[in-house]
Amino acid sequence: MSVTVNDLSFSYKERRVLADVSFTARTGELLAVLGPNGVGKSTLFQCILGLLPYTEGEILLDGLDAKKLDIKETARRVAYIPQSHAPAFNFSVFDIILMGTSAQISDVNVPKKRQLELAEQSMERLGITHLKERGYLQISGGERQLVLIARALAQDARILVMDEPTSNLDYGNQLRILSQIKLLAREGYTVVLSTHSPDQAFMFADRVLALQGGRVVRHGRPFEVITDALIKDLYNVEVEIQSLYGGKARMCLPKSVIDT
């Protein structure tokens, strides 16, 4: 299932946030969105999720006009994984994941066998079945992020939109979460995620979308898109991109560190 955005623009009153944004995220692809704070990444995601009423451009979810889909129809196609989630009540991990199935049932019904099975399967897929009865507020940050991904999988949508999914995690959990996300893309999910780390994009993304001033400045494969000049333009930081393992990997090194 693909996401196609054509000439999307959005404004908050008089302030233009997105301008003529166009890209496609294809089935089985992990698209990383790079850009500094305030360039419109979260606004773009809210438009894709149907939470903001854009008036210019179009968004197609597997070829269907997103504007013509109601909330439940959108939820059957797109799932959202936030940076963090802090419910007012300490629900069990299983209950949090089961909430992802709400788009599959009517407002007056309760989850049935199919929804319970989806929640169980999602936990098994991510290796968190042992957390089933634990309180969500009593588990670690990395475990919580896995629970949120499991909730999205239980939603049974094939497009996953993730807003900086590793921003509050330690280094080990960042790698574990991104490895799981990459695996989901390989299994046929379409993943669109934002990140401030070009190194993460190098390691895990199939394609990169770079935003600046609400516009797309580069779009393509990580090795083609992420350059010293791009990082300077986006973040006002001078880096040197190093090629490792015979060109199989790359990473950014700040020149301020190299020159010290």
- Per the listing, tokens 């692809």 go with 29
Task: Say yes or no to pLDDT of 101 above 60.
Answer: yes
Over residues 245-259, mean pLDDT: 85
| pLDDT score, position 88 | 82
Residue 108 clears pLDDT 60, i.e. is over it: no
Which pLDDT belongs to residue 44? 97
Q: What is the percent of the chain with per-residue pLDDT over 70, rounded to a whole number?
A: 97
Would you state the structure tokens that stand for residue 112, as one six-digit string?
């049935």
pLDDT for 251 equals: 92
Question: What domains are defined for the chain?
Answer: 1-77+159-166+189-259 (3.40.50.300)
Summarised one tens digit per residue, pLDDT across range 78-100 is 999 988 788 889 999 999 999 98
pLDDT in tens, 48-66: 999 999 989 999 999 999 9
- In angstroms, the CA 60 to CA 162 distance is 18
Whether 13 has a pLDDT exceeding 80, the answer reads yes
Give me the chain's average pLDDT, please: 92
Whole-structure pTM value: 0.91
Flag whether pLDDT at 258 surpasses 80. no
Residue 105, pLDDT score: 65
pLDDT in tens, 113-156: 888 999 999 999 899 999 999 999 999 988 999 999 999 999 98
